[in-house]
Copies of this chain bind each other. A is one copy, B any other.
Amino acid sequence: MTDRQPPRPTDSELAILGVLWERGPSTVRDVHDALNKDGSTGYTTVLKILQIMTEKGLVVRDESERAHVYESRYGEQKTQRQLLADLAERAFGGSATKLVMQALSGRKASADELTAIRNLLDTLEGEKR
């Protein structure tokens, strides 16, 4: 085994990953400040979660400076696909297509959005043939 599957991030971890994806490599203070615009989380809470995420391998830490710099180890899209595959497995009997169709019908998308999805479909079909 060379590289294990990354663990599924928890809610708090996902919130932090969102900040890291948006800002790029950040210190604990950066993340904390970004999160506190919305909710309220203590500084040490953010620090603790980042430490746990480091142990889990969800983020990598640069300790060369006094204020450690954290960076997401996996890209946003890769993580999102992982979460989708996971949800498809757990709640849709493993069928990603069912997931897509449910997501589509459960939501009122604007015409623009539908067009964007249709274009993506065209691209996918083009590749296939």
Tell me the A residues contacting B by CB distance below 8 Å: 11, 14-15, 18, 77, 79-81, 83-85, 87-88, 90-93, 96-97, 99-107, 109, 111, 113-114, 116-118, 120-121, 124-125, 128
With A97-B109, A121-B117: A14-B91 Cβ-Cβ less than 8 Å:
yes
Number of copies: 2
Inter-chain contacts of A18 with B (CB < 8 A): 91, 93
C-alpha spacing A1/B107, complex, angstroms: 24
C-alpha spacing A89/B77, complex, angstroms: 15
C-alpha spacing A58/B77, complex, angstroms: 32
**Can you pick out 24 interface pairs between chain A and chain B where the beta carbons lie within 8 Å of each other?**
A11-B90, A14-B91, A18-B93, A77-B106, A79-B91, A80-B91, A83-B87, A83-B91, A84-B103, A87-B87, A96-B109, A97-B107, A99-B103, A100-B103, A101-B116, A101-B120, A103-B103, A104-B117, A104-B124, A105-B120, A109-B124, A114-B121, A114-B125, A118-B118
